[in-house]
Amino acid sequence: MSLLALIQEFDGKEIGEDRNGNPIHGKLLPGASRADLIEIAELIPCPIPPHMKDVLDTTRGLLPSLHIVDFTGLSLKDLIETSDLCPFGWPIAGDEFGNFWVVDLLPNSKDWGPIYFVCHDPPVMVLQAQSFEDFVAQLIALARKEEDSPIERVTQKLAHRIYHENPNVQSYEDAKQLLGDGQLSSFASSLDKSYQFIDMRKARVGEGFSWGRYGPDTEIKRAGELRIFAYKKKAGGFWQKLFGGG
């Protein structure tokens, strides 16, 4: 089933019942205008893929869903700053707590993906979906109130686990000396031993890192368009004592 067919099938489909036993039906928000599409094309770093243009022509989002859904991103673009994490990040949804789902667009992107959950409490970035189609399927699962849906799993479980366990982090020494990985070692060599590194190039859904590991002003670096990140450790102080140096 194509992405557009998946969305169209949701429209008007019974997906559950309310507290009074009345049926709940899926609904599509109105599509983007021509002016909207022109504005989007001017703001994002890559052409709008044909399949995404079809989606945006059809709808801005699905209901019931997250607190805010706007596939155009136009109502959300000024609400979040992701330049350190995703230089061309394009928000498409948000929750009621000020956290957002962001497409990591690049100049050569052919799809609106991958999509990350960028959260401030806890301060983490988690891979939510590899593609826009996967994200729509997750929105539908959430609307159907499927048990342990991918969005609920990321927001309610994995984000907190990543923050507390800080998995898959590499030291400066390990990243710099990693044989056979010129991209990571070159990036590490451009920094210094005060940084720790997170390789998200082959991340699976639910994996991520704590961008605010050393407080809200943690210094973040990204290896250009590669999904390799580094954050600078703070010498001494409360945050380093709390996290034991990372």
Is 35 found in the same domain as 92? yes
> Helix, strand, or coil here: 245?
coil
Residues 146 and 205 grouped into a single domain = no
* Contact criterion met (CB below 8 Å) for 172 and 191: yes
* Mean pLDDT score, 11-40: 93
Report whether pLDDT(97) > 50: yes
Residues 180-233: tens digit of each pLDDT = 799 999 999 999 999 999 999 999 999 999 999 998 899 999 999 999 999 999
Scanning the structure block, which residue is given the tokens 């056979």? 180
What pLDDT is stored for residue 204 in this prediction?
Answer: 97
Question: Would you place residue 17 in the very low, low, confident or very high pLDDT band (cuts 50, 70, 90)?
Answer: confident
How many other C-beta atoms can be found within 10 angstroms of the C-beta atom of residue 112?
27
Q: What is the pLDDT of residue 19?
A: 83
At 179 the pLDDT is 65
Percent of the chain with pLDDT over 90: 86
* Coil, helix or strand at residue 19: coil
Residues 145 and 181 in one domain: no
Same domain, 13 and 125: yes
In a domain, 64, yes or no: yes
**Domain assignment of residue 164, yes or no:** no
Judged against a pLDDT cut of 70, whether residue 242 lies above it is answered with no
Statement to judge: residues 57 and 98 lie in one domain = yes
How high is the pLDDT of residue 98? 94
Per-residue pLDDT tens for 163-173? 999 999 999 99
The CATH code of the domain that includes 21 is 3.40.1580.10
203 in a structural domain: yes
Res 241: pLDDT: 47
Task: For residue 28, name the pLDDT band (cuts at 50, 70, 90).
Answer: very high
Q: What is the mean pLDDT of residues 49-73?
A: 96
Whether 75 and 187 map to the same domain: the answer is no
**Lookup: tokens for 224:** 């250009």
Q: 90, 121, 150: which is the final residue of a domain? A: 150
| Domain identity same for 182 and 145 | no
- Residue 235 pLDDT: 67
In a domain, 13, yes or no: yes
End-to-end CA distance of the chain: 44
pLDDT at residue 100 is higher than 90: yes
pLDDT at 177: 86
Question: How many Cα atoms occupy the beta-carbon half-sphere of 183 within 13 Å?
Answer: 12
C-alpha neighbours within 13 Å on the C-beta side of residue 135: 26
Q: How many structural domains is the chain composed of?
A: 2
- Contacts for 42 with CB less than 8 Å, ≥ 6 apart: none
Q: Which domain holds residue 238?
A: 169-243
64: preceding bond cis by omega (within 30 degrees): yes
pLDDT of residue 216: 85
User: Over the chain, what is the mean pLDDT?
Assistant: 92
Indicate whether this model's pTM tops 0.85: yes
| pLDDT greater than 90 at residue 16 | no
% of the chain at pLDDT higher than 70: 95
Q: Pick from 123, 150, 177: which residue ends a domain?
A: 150
